[in-house]
Structure 1
Amino acid sequence: MKIILVGASGDVGRAAYAELASRHDVVSAGRSSGDIQVDLTSGDSIEAMYRQIGPVDAVISAAGEVEFGRVSDMTTDKFRFGLENKVLTQINLVLFGLETVREGGSFTLTSGILDRDPVRMGTGAAIANGALGGFVTSAAIDLPRNLRLNAVSPGLLDVSADQYGAWFPGHDPVSSKRVGLAYAKCVEGGITGKVVAVD
C-alpha cells in the first residue's frame, strides 16, 4: 500500500510509522518535517499535498493541537483552538482526500483517551476527542467508493510518560507497539466507523 502519514515526527506518528513502514510505502508529512510539508490549517496546503503525492491507499493523521487549562481559565477561543486544530484539520484531510484515496482505501484519524478517562485541565482535549469520535462513527456510513474511516484513541504512550506523565496521574502508559498495531488494524483490516481505544 501507499500511505500518507501526517504527523509522523510525533510520538504517536512514530509508533504508526514503525509498525507500517516495513511493509508499505509510507510518505511522511508534517508542518516542518517529513517527505512532504503540509499546513493542516490550510485547505490549499492539504490539496497541494494530495496533488503532489497522487493516488494513495490510506491516509493516517497523527496530528493535532489543543489547549490545556482549568475550565475556569478556559475561554471560547481556547476551546475553539482545539476544535480547529485537532478536529477540523483532520476532517479536512478526509474531505480533501476523498478523490485521492483509492477505491476501498481508508482514513485513520487520531483522538485520545481524555474524553473517556479525564484528567484535570484536559477538558479542551476531551471535547476535541469526542467530536472526532462522532465524526468517525457518523461519516463512515456516508463515504463513497467503499472508503473506510476510523480513529485510534491512545492513552499516554510509554515514550511520552517522562514528558507528560505528571498530567496523567494514575494512568498506566501504553506501549508504542500496541499503538502502532491499532493503526495497522485500521489500515490493513476491514473495520470502519470505529474508535479503536488503546488503554
Structure 2
Amino acid sequence: MCGAVKILLECIGEDPNREGLLGTPSRFSETLLFLASGYQCNVEQVVNDALFREEYRGMIIVKDIEIYTLCEHHLLPFTGKMSIGYVPSGTVIGLSKLPRIAEMFSRRLQIQERLTREVAHAVMKILNPQGVAVLMASSHLCMEMRGVRKTGASTVTSEFLGCFESSEIRNEFHARLQANKT
C-alpha cells in the first residue's frame, strides 16, 4: 500500500521523497488499515456471548455513540452520533456491545444510510428483540470541504424494526432521546 500512496503523492504534484513526506506513505497505510478494520471482524466476535437471559420488557437505549467513518464515495470522513434502542424478548445484551457493533460497521467504507441499516439489522439478528431503533445524525466532510461546501449541515437517518414500526413506540424512543438534553 505504501507504494500506491507514493504514486498518489506524485499524482497530485508532490515529491514523496521530500523530508516532510518520507513517513507519510507508511502513516497513511496504517491509518487506512485502522479506519477499515471493521472488515476483519463480525458481529458474533464483537458480542462475544455477552447475551443474558433477563425478563426486562422496557426500552433500552444507548444514545450519543460517537461515530467516525469514511464516505465510500470520496474517502473523506463523516462523523456524528448514533443512538441504538431495543425492546428485549427475554434476552439483553451487554451495554458496551451496542457501541462496539456500531464501531465495527463504522470501520468500513460507508454511506450513512447503510451504516444505520446494518447496525439495526445486526442487533435484531443477534438479539432477536421485540424491535430495534437506530437514529444517526452526522456531518459529512465531502459536503463541507468540496462540492456544495455547506458547513453545519446535518444528515439524519433512522431504521425502525419490529415494534418500533409502531408510531407510539417510535415516539417514545424519540422522547427518551430528548430526555436530559440541556
Pick the TM interval, shorter chain.
0.3 to 0.5
Structure showing greater radius of gyration is: 2
Of Structure 1 and Structure 2, the greater strand share is in 2
TM-score by length of 1: 0.30
